[in-house]
């Protein structure tokens, strides 16, 4: 029996390389012609962003500030933005949207169904590993 080489499943490297999410209609599941380039939740850069947010939360708690539901939502959106590298085919009100972190934050806030798809994608390791 041959031993399995764990490096074949190095999710940290694979997630850092990124993968493309084909955005689906939230009801019909049809492809919408939009593609978002994302890194996965195991990527070092994503984990660094998450750790910075946790550290900030701990520091705020130590100062006596409690987190609100709005704080949680803002932090989740910020993590989705940190995972987003680029996109193509995203149009709003007839105009193509150019990628920027500010624009990613805005559309993930404005369109919760899109934020849900991005979150599901980045946390599914199968999207970043080859079979």
pLDDT per residue over 82-126, tens digit each? 999 999 999 999 999 999 999 999 999 999 999 999 999 999 999
* Tens digits of residue pLDDT in 41-81: 999 999 999 999 889 888 988 998 888 889 889 999 999 99
Is 77 exposed, middle or buried, given 0-12, 13-18 or 19+ CB atoms closer than 10 A?
buried
pTM of the entire predicted model: 0.90
Amino acid 49: pLDDT: 94
Q: Which two tokens stand for residue 106?
A: 């805005």
Q: CATH code for 10-124?
A: 3.30.2220
């Amino acid at each position: 029996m041959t031993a399995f080489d764990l490096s074949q499943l190095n999710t940290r490297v694979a997630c850092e390389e990124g993968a493309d999410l084909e955005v689906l209609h939230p009801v019909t599941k049809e492809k919408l012609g939009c593609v978002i380039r994302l890194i996965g939740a195991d990527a070092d850069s994503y984990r660094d962003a998450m750790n910075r947010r946790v550290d900030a939360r701990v520091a705020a708690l130590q100062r006596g500030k409690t987190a609100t539901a709005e704080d949680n939502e803002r932090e989740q959106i910020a993590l989705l933005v940190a995972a987003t590298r680029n996109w193509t085919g995203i149009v709003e009100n007839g105009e193509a949207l150019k990628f920027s972190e500010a624009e990613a934050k805005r559309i993930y806030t404005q369109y919760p169904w899109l934020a849900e798809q991005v979150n599901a994608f980045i946390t599914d390791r199968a999207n970043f590993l080859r079979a």
